[in-house]
């Protein structure tokens, strides 16, 4: 096996029905093919649903990896009925013994070690893999993979993603990993520069937004006054969406309809098994004309739909990004610190236009509708297209540097 032509992947797509995470994986594979060649082998670690994952990226080989073993052990410890912190602490301390305890676990660690020895590098990509609420699930198996890469002398790259918000302890562990095991790192968020104590040269854009290999930068076209795309998560991963958020969303939709008179299309970025995005539909139908767009299998379907829309607003980061790739303005919806962190510098993605970021529980529906309508009218797609071209050049340069270090034999 040509080790420089094999890349191990760990990322935010773990077999779940999340459209944005599927897009991320496809973009990473496309960029790797762009620098290593179309025959580059990618091996991806999953938690579940290997058969479904194979349809997401047919050229990638998927395996149940160390993270699947860790989560299985953590689930067993739930029977202790301890607080979550106690369960995770015990799981981390006892996990090495669990790895060696069964034949199946020993087979997994043996296969992973062979994959590490045979690969060119490990690439860790994602959306919010190491943010505060996901950290305890994702960091323990990740740090073990980093140790294996160090033992095998393989370089490790952390791609641009959102690393915060994090507690002080989590930040210490991330910096420890960066100092001792990671060859290079990049971020997609200005706040992460301080969090990781790294330079502005490491600031890139999101991988989906930047990937012109899959989504070429379009020449802007006139937007029809046809409909508005909307999306609201049924869960924000910290709790189920509150009744107040539903009501605030409906009030905003009504106010914007009164302002612009355009019907709506509700689109989904997550399936029912992951995060139901259809929960607000029945409430909306009582007040405004709204249709449900069918679930997307291909990003191009959402991009084409966005090209027909006057604007979009969404709680999904990648829902906003794909809408802008299609040529329409997108307004993010935030809900608490986790979502606030996603959008702290979202104006960069518009070429510096002052995009409003909507907090459903903190703003007047009429005032917010007026802001959104004004933004939709004044939006300049040429500035976003120019920003995407710059982002594409930066991400392509990042992947070229990965290839050069792999082929040059750079270790950790």
Pick the more confident residue, 243 or 148.
148
Backbone angles phi, psi at 219, to 5 degrees: -70, 125
**Cβ(287)–Cβ(254) below 8 Å:** yes
Walk across the sheet containing 330-334 and list its strands: 290-292, 264-266, 228-231, 311-314, 330-334, 358-359
- Please state the pTM of the whole predicted model: 0.92
Q: How far apart are CA 355 and CA 172, in angstroms?
A: 33
pLDDT digits (tens, 9 = 90+) for 263-281: 999 998 887 667 677 778 8
Cis peptide before 230, with omega less than 30 degrees from 0?
no
**Helices and strands per DSSP (H, E), number in the chain:** 16, 12
Pure H helices in 39-189:
50-56, 66-77, 84-101, 103-118, 132-152, 168-180
Read off the pLDDT of residues 154-192 as tens digits, 9 standing for 90 and up.
Answer: 999 999 999 999 999 999 999 999 999 999 999 999 999
Q: Domains plus CATH for the chain?
A: 3-203 (3.40.50), 228-382 (3.40.50.2000)
Is 72 or 361 the better-scoring residue by pLDDT?
A: 72
pLDDT score, position 339: 82
pLDDT of residue 185: 97
- At 411 the pLDDT is 46
Q: What is the pLDDT of residue 103?
A: 92
pLDDT at 297: 85
189-211 residue pLDDT tens: 999 999 999 999 999 999 999 99
Q: Which long-range contacts (CB under 8 A, 24 or more apart) does 167-172 make?
A: 167/132, 167/135, 170/130, 170/132, 170/135, 170/139, 171/195
Going by the DSSP 8-state scheme, the letter that residue 361 receives in this structure is T
């Amino acid at each position: 096996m040509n080790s420089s032509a094999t890349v191990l992947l760990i990322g935010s797509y773990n077999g779940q029905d999340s459209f944005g995470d599927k897009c991320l994986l496809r973009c990473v594979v496309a960029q790797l093919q762009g620098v290593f060649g179309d025959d580059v082998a990618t091996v991806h670690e999953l938690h579940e649903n290997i058969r479904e994952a194979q349809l997401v990226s047919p050229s990638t080989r998927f395996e149940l990896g160390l993270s699947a073993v860790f989560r299985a052990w953590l689930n067993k410890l739930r029977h202790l009925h301890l607080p979550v912190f106690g369960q995770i602490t015990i799981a981390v301390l006892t996990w090495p013994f669990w790895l060696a305890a069964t034949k199946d676990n020993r087979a997994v660690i043996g296969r992973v070690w062979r994959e590490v020895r045979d690969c060119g590098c490990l690439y860790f990509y994602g959306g919010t893999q190491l943010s505060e609420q996901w950290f305890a699930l994702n960091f323990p198996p990740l740090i073990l993979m980093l140790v294996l890469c160090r033992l095998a002398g393989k370089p490790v790259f952390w791609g641009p993603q959102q690393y915060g918000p994090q507690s002080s302890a989590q930040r210490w562990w991330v910096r420890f990993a960066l100092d001792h095991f990671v060859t290079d790192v990049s971020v997609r968020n200005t706040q992460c520069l301080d969090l990781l104590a790294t330079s502005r040269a490491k600031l890139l854009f999101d991988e989906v937004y930047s990937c012109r290999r899959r989504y070429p930068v379009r020449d802007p076209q006139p937007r029809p006054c046809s409909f508005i795309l909307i999306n609201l998560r049924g869960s924000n991963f910290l709790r189920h969406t509150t009744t107040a958020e539903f009501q605030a969303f409906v009030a905003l939709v009504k106010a914007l309809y009164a302002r612009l008179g355009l019907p709506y299309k509700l689109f989904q970025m997550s399936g029912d098994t992951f995060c139901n995005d259809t929960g607000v539909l029945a409430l909306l139908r009582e007040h405004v004309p709204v249709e449900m767009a069918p679930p997307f299998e291909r990003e191009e379907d959402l991009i084409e739909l966005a090209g027909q829309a006057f604007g979009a607003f969404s709680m999904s980061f990648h829902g906003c990004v794909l809408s802008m790739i299609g040529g329409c303005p997108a307004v993010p919806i935030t809900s608490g610190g986790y979502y606030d962190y996603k959008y702290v510098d979202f104006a960069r993605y518009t070429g510096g236009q002052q995009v409003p970021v909507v907090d459903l529980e903190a703003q007047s529906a009429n005032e917010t509708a007026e802001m959104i309508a004004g933004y939709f009218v004044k939006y300049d797609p040429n500035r976003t297209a120019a920003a995407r071209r710059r982002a594409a050049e930066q991400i392509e340069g990042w992947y070229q540097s990965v290839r050069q270090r792999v082929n040059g034999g750079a270790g950790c």
